Amino acid sequence: SRRRFLQATATGAGVVLAGQKATADVRRVGPWASQYGERSPFDKVNRTISGNLQHESETPQQALSGMITPSSLHYERHHAGVPTIRPEEHKLLIHGMVEEPKVFTLHDLLRFPQASRICFLECAGNGKHHFKSDEKTTPQRLCGLISQSEWSGVSLSSLLREVGVKKSGSWLLAEGSDACLLTRSIPMERALDDVLIAYAQNGEAVRPEQGYPLRLIVPGCEGSMNVKWLRRLEVSDQPFMTREETAKYSDPLKDGTVRQFSFVMDAKSIITQPAYPLQIEKGWHEIRGLAWSGRGQVAGVEVSDDNGSSWHQAQLQSPVLDKSCVRFGLLWKWDGKERLLTSRVIDSTGYTQPSARELIAIRGKQSLRYHNNTMTTWRVQSDGQVFYQRMD
């Protein structure tokens, strides 16, 4: 790229000697202000669409910075596509074991105190390609089902107070208004804690594919708990045992049991740079990546360049927030030798991200179709090419 730079200078690229006649340096004004901005036409970073129904799209982790995911690149997982909802027709019904059932319009919800929080959403299936992928696999493919936004809306607890939950009410059903009317059960304890009914994502209305106009946000919990296009909450005295918490999203264990309601996402991290398909040069680089925990805050991230023999404390970007993704970095000099790069996160509860072998030993490899939070390893070859290194 030194060559490219010298070329660019030589061929002008808008630059001329500041002589007496500088007419070659004419600069023309560009377009002025616009109503709703778009990204640069040179920015081609996209989600990758996957699944036999094109029901998923993966966030391009390796191309992003900081901790906010642009709403346009927030991962998707749909069970019946994206419904088209007119906001003035949308209603939220809260009923069941309550003193007084109520229905709220968006206008009503805007009158309640607004709460906002930055937190990640992660599909329980994030990591499902780990043990099926070859070395030419990107962070986007391996870990593209996590994204982070600032969500704003009403605390669910404010609305539950408004309807008056009966003593018997210990679970809540959340129902979407997509074609499949997706449902999930949520323990009341959790519902009264930090759950939001979000009408905004990164400042503006929640995006259509993220649940416009209303999405349930259950911080730290698997994506499908965060019911999109939310239309109904039903209070009951037991979980509803919906398909998405029995047949799916449950974890068969090696002892023959099935772990259910394992919706809190364990701590995970991944190096997003350098990673396949980059080729790096010798010298200084920042090894960068993402770390998060559904159990609490990221306490620290360690990076190894020797397959876990030694670990180095990475820097965390700030702020580090509860149930929130953080970008980490470690300044690292590559000496041209083959290296295995790995990261692991430790969260505020003391939980440490396991290696693939460790978690396979505990849960079984097939169990890790969901809730696979194992470490990811990248192999830097001596020619600088970086490849995914399976460790199962």
Partner 1 sequence: MPEKLGIGFVPSPELVKAWDTAIQPDGRGLPPGKGCVTDGQRIYVEQCQVCHGISGKGGQYDVLAGRLAENLFPFAAESGHPKTIGNYWPWATTLFDYIRRSMPLLTPGTLSDNDVYALSAYLLHLNELLPESACLDAASLPQIEMPANKRFVPDNRLETSAVR
- CB closer to a second copy, 152 vs 376: 152
Residues 261-290 that bind Ca ion (CB under 5 A): 280
Instruction: Write down the least CB distance from residue 311 to partner 1, Å.
Output: 17
Give the span between the Cα atoms of 207 and 314, in whole angstroms. 33
Give yes or no for residue 321 binding a second copy (CB under 8 A). Answer: yes
* Min separation Cβ 339 and a second copy, Å: 16
Q: How far is residue 367's CA from residue 251's CA, in Å, rounded to a whole number? A: 6
Residue 73 or 143: the one with the smaller Cβ distance to a second copy is 73
Q: Pick one of 153, 169, 219, 294: the residue that binds a second copy (CB under 8 A).
A: 153
Q: Which does 319 bind (CB under 5 to 8 A by kind): ligand HEC, a second copy, Co ion, none?
A: a second copy
* 78 versus 141: smaller Cβ distance to ligand HEC: 78
**Cα–Cα distance between 35 and 39 in angstroms, integer?**
13
In the complex, the smallest distance separating the C-beta of residue 117 from Ca ion, rounded to whole angstroms, is 24
Letters for 250-269 (x = contact with partner 1 by CB under 8 A, - = none) are: xxxxx-xxxxxxxxx-x---
Q: How many whole angstroms separate alpha carbon 95 and alpha carbon 101?
A: 4
Report the residue from 118, 273, 354, 388 that binds partner 1 according to the rule CB under 8 A.
Answer: 354
Cβ nearer to a second copy, comparing 71 with 374: 71
The rounded distance, in Å, linking the Cα atoms of 130 and 142 is 6
Question: Rule CB under 8 A: which of 54-83 touch a second copy?
Answer: 54-57, 63-74, 76, 78, 80-83
DSSP character for 135?
A: S
Q: SS3 string of 266-291? A: CCEEEEEECCCCCECCCEEEEEEEEE
| 268 sits near a second copy (criterion: CB under 8 A) | no
Cβ atoms of 370 and 125 within 8 Å: the answer is: yes
CB 339 within 8 A of CB 380: yes
Binding to Co ion (CB under 5 A) within 287-306 occurs at: 305
- Contact between 192 and Ca ion by CB under 5 A: the answer reads no
Residue 150 contact partner, candidates partner 1, a second copy, Ca ion, none, CB within 5 to 8 A by sort of partner: a second copy
Residues engaged in binding ligand HEC (CB under 6 A):
79, 243, 247-248
Residue 103: Cβ within 10 Å count: 12
Contact 162, 113 (CB under 8 A): no
Q: What is the DSSP letter of 385?
A: B
280 binds, among Co ion, Ca ion, partner 1, none (CB under 5 to 8 A by kind): Ca ion
Residue 57, phi then psi, degrees to nearest 5: -140, 145
Q: Which does 167 bind (CB under 5 to 8 A by kind): Co ion, a second copy, ligand HEC, none?
A: none
Longest Cα separation, the chain:
86
| 202 sits near a second copy (criterion: CB under 8 A) | yes
With CB cut-offs between 5 and 8 Å by kind, which of ligand HEC, a second copy, Co ion, none does residue 310 bind?
Answer: Co ion
Distance CA 129, CA 273 (A): 19
* Cβ-contact 121, 146 below 8 angstroms: yes
